[in-house]
A and B are shown apart, each in its own frame.
Chain A
Amino acid sequence: MEPLQIAPGIYSVGVRDWTIRDFHGYSTDLGTTYNAFLIVDEQVALIDSVKAEFADELLAHIARVIDPRRIDLVVSNHTELDHAGGLARVMHRIGEEKPLYCSKMGAKNLARHFPRKWNYRAVGTGEELRLGRRTLRFLETRMIHWPDSMFTYVVEDGILFSSDGFGQHYAGPETFDDETGERILPHAKKYFANILLPYTGLIEKLLQQVEALRLDIRMICPDHGVLWRKDPGRILEAYRTWCRQEPGRRAVIVYDTMWHSTEKMAAAIHEGIAAEGVSCRPMHLRAFHRSEIVTEIFDARAVVVGSPTLNNGLFPTVADFLCYLKGLKPQNKIGAAFGSYGWSGEAVRLIEEELERMKIPRIQEGLRVPFVPEGETLEACRAFGRAIGRAVVESTAVPA
């Protein structure tokens, strides 16, 4: 538990948020952590802060290592309030005049969060700061995932403080990857799929840039979840793979239903897809959280969306899901729409319009069934599913 020495003179001083279950619309079933780090050298540096309501806990962790007033400078890698919210308390405690290192956009954006005129020192890629025995080197990572985002690298120890990059919303008794083993990877993947997906092009470039810098990375310390000390290459390799967004031979049926009719359609479509040898999970929008659904879609080729028509429109949960998915800009998907309706039946067309805006090509024209599907219309649903299954098989590699 914190404070924990992770390298000589370098401490993990952040906090575990065991109880958070909704992180701005992302489901955090096991909570999360807000990691922060203290480097005790000739100059004492604090890397990142925590959510405002945990600032006192952060300061208590620091106080077990050193009097917080002895902190000489703060590095803020990212302005978002889960990492900067505690800055007001921290700066008040350590001295408001202490320098605060951040990117140029960080200085601009912090000023929009905090009225106090702090001593901002804007730094750019490649700039270094000597602490004494150790050197901090900064690397801007614009739009990964905010304009202000940056990494801080400790040259002598080979530690990369990577802000949200390589993070996971996971709070457990463990601090390091060797304590969790491979079971931390699904959490890292969910984080990637729900937070970083729109920026995969930039992340690929960043990974190439990091490779070209030939940094000796011995530990990667993100601001959420466990630290990668046993095998930082494992998460770098996973990111390289995930950036390609190569779909597996899988489909996801995402739907909601009012009187079980669209649900019956979903079941018959599922039968058809599975009959073609494609692995498929039906996901009811009020049974699965949108961030779970996106994680499932991340690995899939086909996104099949079903909605009843409610008052001439989409069912609200379906609209919510489509809005969320669109923002994440998923690549390499194909799609189809279906739904039961009473009298007007606009929902299927509205889903198709949204899929088109997402540049997700349509496998076939949407399937609409008036009121309750039975014999013939259920058969049509199975045929619809088989066509989706075949389209997935034709456009994906044989599963390994």
Chain B
Amino acid sequence: MKRYVCQVCGYVYDPAQGDPDNGIAAGTPFEKLPDSWECPVCGASKADFAPEA
């Protein structure tokens, strides 16, 4: 599963970890994140993420 990087603050979404603080279970791929999900660090939207190089 691909990791995605927030283009605003550099936070890395790792599907293996998920984002449990915001109700995203470990193992959730980036594509399956709800559209309302936001970067937990800076609040940027999903559209502000890019696949990790």
By a beta-carbon cutoff of 8 Å, the part of chain A in contact with chain B is 103-105, 108, 142-143, 147, 202
Whether A202 pairs with B42 at a CB distance below 8 angstroms is no
Taking CB atoms, residues of chain A closer than 8 Å to B9 are 142-143, 147
In the assembled complex, B8 has its CB within 8 A of some CB on chain A: yes
Query: Does B43 contact A143, Cβ atoms closer than 8 Å?
Result: no
Q: A103 contacts which chain B residues (CB < 8 A)?
A: 43
Q: B9 CB to closest chain A CB, in angstroms?
A: 5
Kindly provide the distance from the CB of B7 to the nearest chain A CB, expressed in whole angstroms. Answer: 9
- The chain B residue with its CB closest to the CB of A124 is B43
**Quick one: closest B residue to A198, CB to CB?**
B10
Q: A108 CA to B41 CA in the complex, in Å?
A: 10
Residues of the B chain whose Cβ atoms lie less than 8 Å from the Cβ of A105: 42-43
Chain A nearest CB: distance from B17 CB in Å?
19
A143 to B39, CA, bound (A): 12
Closest A residue to B11 by beta carbon equals: A147
Contacts of A202 in B (CB 8 A): 8
Report the number of A-B residue pairs with Cβ-Cβ less than 8 Å. 18
What band does the interface of chain B fall in when counting residues whose beta carbon is under 8 Å from A?
A: under 10
Interface pair B8/A104, CB less than 8 Å apart: no
Q: How far is the CB of A316 from chain B (nearest CB, A)?
A: 28
User: Does B33 touch A at the CB level, under 8 Å?
Assistant: no
The chain B residue with its CB closest to the CB of A140 is: B43
Interface CB pairs A-B, < 8 A, 14: A103-B43, A105-B42, A105-B43, A108-B43, A142-B8, A142-B9, A142-B44, A143-B8, A143-B9, A143-B42, A147-B9, A147-B42, A147-B43, A202-B8
**B-to-A contact residues, CB < 8 Å:** 8-9, 41-44
Across the interface, which residues of A come within 8 angstroms of B43, CB to CB? 103-105, 108, 142, 147
Q: Which residues of A contact B42 (CB under 8 A)?
A: 105, 142-143, 147
Rounded to whole angstroms, the CA-CA distance of A143 and B44 in the bound complex is 10
Q: Report how far A147 CA is from B40 CA in the complex, Å.
A: 10
Q: How far is the CB of B25 from chain A (nearest CB, A)?
A: 22
Q: A142-B8, A143-B8 are in contact. List 6 more A-B contacts (CB 8 A).
A: A103-B43, A108-B43, A142-B43, A143-B42, A147-B41, A147-B42
A202 to B41, CA, bound (A): 16
A143 to B42, alpha carbons, bound, how many Å? 7
With both chains docked as a complex, state the minimum distance between the C-beta of A146 and any C-beta of chain B, in angstroms. Answer: 9
Most buried by A among B8, B43, B44: B43
Chain B neighbourhood of A143, CB < 8 A: 8-9, 42
- Whole-angstrom distance between the Cβ of B23 and the nearest chain A Cβ: 15
Provide the bound-state CA to CA distance between A105 and B44, in Å.
Answer: 10
Residue of B at shortest CB range from A201? B7
Distance between Cα atoms of A108 and B42 in the complex (Å): 10
Residues on B with C-beta less than 8 A from A104 are 43
CB-CB under 8 A from B41, the residues of chain A are: 147
A246 to B34, CA, bound (A): 41
The residue in chain A whose Cβ has the minimal distance to the Cβ of B43 is A105
CB A165 to nearest CB in B, in angstroms, measures: 16
Q: Once bound together, how far apart are the Cα atoms of A202 and B9, in whole Å?
A: 10
- Complex CA gap A108/B8 in Å reads 17
Those 9 A-B pairs whose CB atoms lie nearest each other, nearest first: A147-B42, A105-B43, A142-B42, A143-B9, A142-B8, A143-B8, A104-B43, A147-B41, A143-B42
Residues of B within 8 A of A108 (CB): 43
Cα-based distance from A202 to B42 in the complex (angstroms): 13
Could you say which residues of chain A place their CB within 8 Å of the CB of B8? 142-143, 202
- A282 and B49 alpha carbons, distance in the complex (Å): 42
